[in-house]
A and B are shown apart, each in its own frame.
Chain A
Amino acid sequence: MSHAADIVVDRLSKAYGAFLAVDRISFEVPKGTIVGFLGPNGAGKTTTIRMLTCYLPPTGGTASVAGYDVFRQSLDVRKKIGYLPESTPLYTEMRVQEYLDFKGKLHGMDRSTRQKRIAEVAARCWITDRLQSVIGTLSKGYRQRVGIADAMLHNPPVLVLDEPTVGLDPSQIREARRLISELAGDHTVLLSTHILQEVEMVCKRVIIIANGKIVAQGTPDELKNRLGSGLIVEVRGPADQVRSAINAIPGITGVDVLQNGPVCRVGVRGKNSAELREQIAALVSLRGWGLREMRTEGASLEEFFVRITDPGSAAA
């Protein structure tokens, strides 16, 4: 049993027939942290999460949650996990209160605990005024909130949320992210999402998965640094010549022409140091081109994501 990590995944695989949806992935989620699980559509996020929540048996490898093996100690794992499934399946004919009460009973909570917890999670998910509504009449966003409330109901140490902010309106997305951020410390959260800002805002660490394999993991800053930050240079001069001249400076890994014309703009990739910027400036004035603008542009996680998950371009 590991005390440092609440979710331990070791060479976990899942094959649907001949199709390998998840291919020997390994990662850990330390206690009390929020880890983002990022990947394009069909990457295998939901499949991985379903194995962690004991819904699907792995075809290879092992995983444990809160120290319990997902396969052999499935009931213990299910007690420790709060799970928001991707499609938030609910009983549409029930009232929100009834539904949460039902789930509370499934978790073996007694009457007074249920009442207390329902009031708590309803307040945290802003559904207190909808407790008596029939679920089928709720909008998508409200159902999503009921799903989040449901996941938190039994105050589980580990939360697994599959795209929790889908269907919420912008202000609710912000609230939901704040809510999730507040969970850090007491709770371990694995958060699956496509939304990069979400990861940057709430997650300590990011795991990026594509085609069933982990392609990168680290803190958002680490991942951004791996890209290197870019430099945008605007110069009055012929684009080709500017590009090749700058490219010749040692320490530059690539130059892209962003805008052609009498005044051209190029994106410069490489280690962005003050020294490098001075060299570029010197070079430009030496050649008699006019330096119009030079600014640093921090690489976005989005750029990293696109680069790393797109099979067409080489991995960064």
Chain B
Amino acid sequence: MRRGGLAFQIDDVTVRFGDLEALRKVSTSIGAGEPVAVVGPSGAGKSTFLRLLNGQTRASMGDVIVDGRPLSDLGPGALRELRSRVGFVHQDLRLIPPVRVIKNVLAGRLGRWSFLRSIAAMALPSRAQALAIHELLERVGIGDKLYERTDRLSGGEQQRVAIARALYQEPRALLADEPIASVDPKRASAVLRLLTEVCREAGLTLVVSLHDIERAQEFFPRLIGLRYGRLVFDRPTSEVSSETLRDLYSLEGDRQGDRAGRALS
């Protein structure tokens, strides 16, 4: 399934929620097959940034261009088509709680199935599907949970189900919003290694938001720093100094000014 990654271009995008600017005039681009980590303190706009990339959040100003096509031009069908090719790991997981793990993973393919086909698959997953999903689950370390009920799993296990679901989409880009928030440190590195490896092998674009700066530096060659909705830096990891990072997370800084800048009225 070497289909190549998707290229994203973010063009002077502002995202507003009421009078709050979650992102402010952000411009950057992410090349096909490139792995990038988005870092920044809580409320910086990381989730908003990721959700922007597959049109879950709409830009109030500016536009996102995916593989040469502006998202604002896509009709419902084209948008669905694009989304079915973008794996998304939500920060709050968003699994279907009362069904078996295998169905949650299968749900990743819904975007590419007709309604009848999806009914058949969800009611009675085929042998081949079960095997493929077992393999995926094994790679994230929960192969034995294939037929477990999803809401009986621990938080970390559920997080890995969400990752498996995104991978099962056979995506051309993978967007993961804090995919290691609730797994233990050792497992966290394994998950990041898996994500970067899968994406490198298949040539997928990978955008991950992370709180864990050290792991971001360890696994990603490029970092995007967000703070109060502004793009603070965007460079190769080797060029991000510890000074810059300290500023990114410092609680004082020019917060006052940023706050004023973020409020519109």
Q: Are A and B part of the same complex?
A: no
